[in-house]
Chain A
Amino acid sequence: MKNRSILRCTLLAIAAPLAILAAPVHAQDVLKIGVNGVMSGEAASWGLVNKYCAETTADVYNAKGGVDIGGKKYKIEIVALDDKNDPKLSVSNAEKLTSEGIKYIIGPNIDTTALAVKPVVERAKAMNFPYAFAKELYSPPANASVLGMVASYQVGPIMYDYLKTKKGVKSIAFLARNESDSKNQQQEGVEAAKKLGLTITADKDTYEPGTKDFMPVLTKIIKTKPDAIVLSGVAPADAPLLNKAARDLGFKGSLSTETAQDSKILAQVAGAKANGFLSVGGASTPEIQSDAMKAYIEAYKKRVGEWNDEAGTKVYALELIIAVLQKNPAAINDVEVFKKEMETFSMVNPFVKDGKTKLEFTGKADFGRRSQVGVPLVVNEFQDKDFKTLFVGTIKN
């Protein structure tokens, strides 16, 4: 008697949750967009900002009754899943999202998770918009991923050139977080700097994720006497402390990075010691903000409580997806249509003030095909608690 009930219980225990999991949720006029990324732990801000940006875009459209695609009004629903920076979870997230019929997924944020997810997305005939820079995600034969922002190796050479010509930098050192993304960026940076004829004083130094005291590792680098230190792939949480420690140790040269940063925590943690720090910006720097961007920032603040400058680079993905869908509604269920549209698609960048900058798919120069969102290439300098736009360019196609 008892054993049969055990059998029943076990059966129920496995079957019931699976039944709940498997129950599909289909609604008529809903456009479901997936977000897959790291939303907890040290790198939480990367994935969370993806989620918040997508949700804010959805808020803005849904407040107007939905987004108009092909004559029908769609309510945008964001399905966001945390992969905790674990490729295994990324894969099962991607499986879950695609099994719900979702064709467009934003993220993941890191090379390891993005690469793990690539075969899943390809098999499910979906597309994703990662924020990871590994070239194998975007170069042929890959065709299911679109890079959502400017890659470090695209902006690096431009930044080093600026340092060389405008700041007289002759020698440069690189410090990377000991992680595959950052170390790749370090390698790319070293090559780019060599091409420009700069002397490399340190090219392999790393720090462990989770380090808070940067004096030991920076002491070592400063001893090599570089004119500039590049913080390859630095996470927004580490940058303020690195700046602070470098300045405390008496470093007078330039500090820069090729990732997006958050001005609020730079101001809070490093204050004036972060002045002069160069980083990559999006569309949120005050000089180039359009009214639509300002409205977006307000909507973001309403949803999340405070603005995060990192979101400046992540605001584009969903907007662009929707714009392409609006141009050719067949793409809602067929990514091949979307991919064809990518070749020729062009729109006015709604977030930049001048109303003339184009937003297109780019990336031919680096990947051999148009597989990148052509966001403006903005380099910021931190001054007095905020970012000042240093210069704006576009990625070569």
Chain B
Amino acid sequence: MLQVLINGALLGAVYALIALGLTMVFSIMRVVNFAHGQMYMLGGFVVYYLYGQYGLPFYLALPAAGIVLGLIGVAFNRFFFQPVLATSTREENSMLMAVGTALLLENLALTLFGEKQRGVPEVVEGIFIWGDVAEGGVVLTYSNMLVMGVAVLAIVALLGFVQYTRPGRALRAVAQDKEAACLQGVDVKTTTTLGFAIGAALAGIAGGLLVTIYGVNAGVGSNISTKAFIMVMIGGAGVTKGAILGGLLLGFAEAIGYDIFPGSVTYLIIFVAMIIFLLFKPNGMFGKPWG
């Protein structure tokens, strides 16, 4: 059982990181970034090429993934989302745009990088073993611990940034009330761009981190996006603690579920449980009403 809980903690930390990126974009722009999973995938490829193929040290490749995705986020915001948000009569158009960007990224990746599964050498070798797993013992690879550690670090850094720095406060202000923030002198346009960039960067970092233990291929995006949606729905869209809670819950639910139930029943139960939960708390645990 302890092994199951450790699996859950690992998944939870990583999922929380993914959910945070998605919720960040939503809180700032009221747009669900359908391409979040694809950005995760691109982060993985950045690290695959820089660290895996060209031999750059990991502690440089990972931030590079974040930066690359952040730049993509800026570009998407400037060229795709801002124009749509400015001119369309329906709010759903931005969702459509997000879907379009998701299709674009996924197939761009397939074209540029090919369809094969890719992996990178382990950043740290070694493994903790307590007892025999078959007997209920526990196993934890150093790689997994590293991933968990960096994920937690990234989450803490983000929370600190949002809480204590000026741009961070600006982000919170815009998320809370765009007009009031504008009246307070916040540069809404720059802040929005920053928000999207951070959200995308988080996805990229999560991908770059996870490529070390899971590898990456051009098709992983939609699966990650679906899970991110679940987490954000449970935790509440646009709220950081909601995203973290959602991530942890899903991680543990998945680990425990796979242990008890055969394969796909786990996710069926997760979906049904989520639907029932949403009936009682339609905006998630901490979310605010929308629409």
Direct A–B contact present (CB less than 8 angstroms): yes
Interface residues of A (CB under 8 A from B): 39-42, 44-45, 48, 178, 204-208, 210, 212-213, 215-217, 219-220, 222-225, 236-238, 240-241, 248-251, 262, 264-265, 268-271, 305, 308
A44 in contact with B132 (CB, 8 Å): no
CA of A215 to CA of B127, assembled, Å: 14
Q: Is the CB of A217 within 8 A of B218?
A: no
CB distance from B127 to the nearest CB of A (A): 6
Name the contact of A248 in the complex, choosing from B136, B139, B217 (C-beta under 8 A): B139
Closest to A207 in B: B263
The answer to whether A210 and B262 have CB atoms under 8 Å apart is: no
A216 in contact with B258 (CB, 8 Å): yes
Partner of A271, one of B121, B133, B223, B267: B121
Interface residues of B (CB under 8 A from A): 3-4, 7, 10-11, 52, 107, 110, 114-122, 127, 129, 132-134, 136-137, 139, 141, 210, 214-215, 217-220, 223, 254-255, 258-259, 262-264, 267
How many Å lie between the Cα of A39 and that of B259 in the bound state? 33
Instruction: Give every chain B residue within 8 A of A240 (Cβ-Cβ).
Output: 117, 119, 215
CA distance A48 to B116 in the complex (A): 10
CB within 8 Å for A208 and B127 given contacts A249-B139, A268-B120 = no
Which listed residue (B116, B210, B267) contacts A45, Cβ 8 A? Answer: B116
A81 to chain B, nearest CB (A): 16
The distance from the CB of A302 to the nearest CB of chain B, in whole angstroms, is 15
A41–B121 Cα distance when bound, in Å, is 25
Are A216 and B7 closer than 8 Å at their CB atoms?
yes
A217 and B116: CB pair below 8 A?
A: no
One of B107, B118, B127, B137 near A269 (C-beta < 8 A)? B118
**23 A-B pairs (CB sep. < 8 Å):** A40-B219, A44-B219, A45-B116, A48-B115, A205-B262, A208-B267, A212-B214, A212-B215, A215-B3, A216-B259, A222-B134, A223-B133, A223-B134, A223-B136, A236-B116, A248-B141, A249-B3, A249-B133, A250-B132, A262-B116, A264-B116, A265-B119, A269-B215
Query: Within the assembled complex, what's the spacing in Å between the Cα atoms of A178 and B266?
Result: 12
Complex Cα–Cα for A223 and B220 (A): 29
A212 to chain B minimum Cβ distance, whole angstroms, is: 4
Which residues of A have CB within 8 Å of B110?
40, 44
B119 contacts A206, C-beta separation under 8 Å: no
Residues of chain A within 8 A of B119, CB atoms compared: 240, 265, 268-270
Chain A contacts for B3, CB-based, 8 A: 215, 219, 249
A31 to chain B, nearest CB (A): 27
Residues of B within 8 A of A213 (CB): 7, 10-11, 214
Residues of B contacting A215 in the complex (Cβ-Cβ under 8 angstroms): 3, 7
Whole-angstrom distance between the alpha carbons of A270 and B132 in the complex? Answer: 21
With A240-B117, A249-B3, A308-B116 given, can you name 16 additional A-B contacts, CB distance below 8 Å?
A40-B107, A41-B219, A44-B115, A204-B262, A210-B223, A212-B210, A215-B3, A215-B7, A219-B4, A236-B117, A237-B116, A250-B139, A265-B119, A265-B215, A268-B215, A270-B119
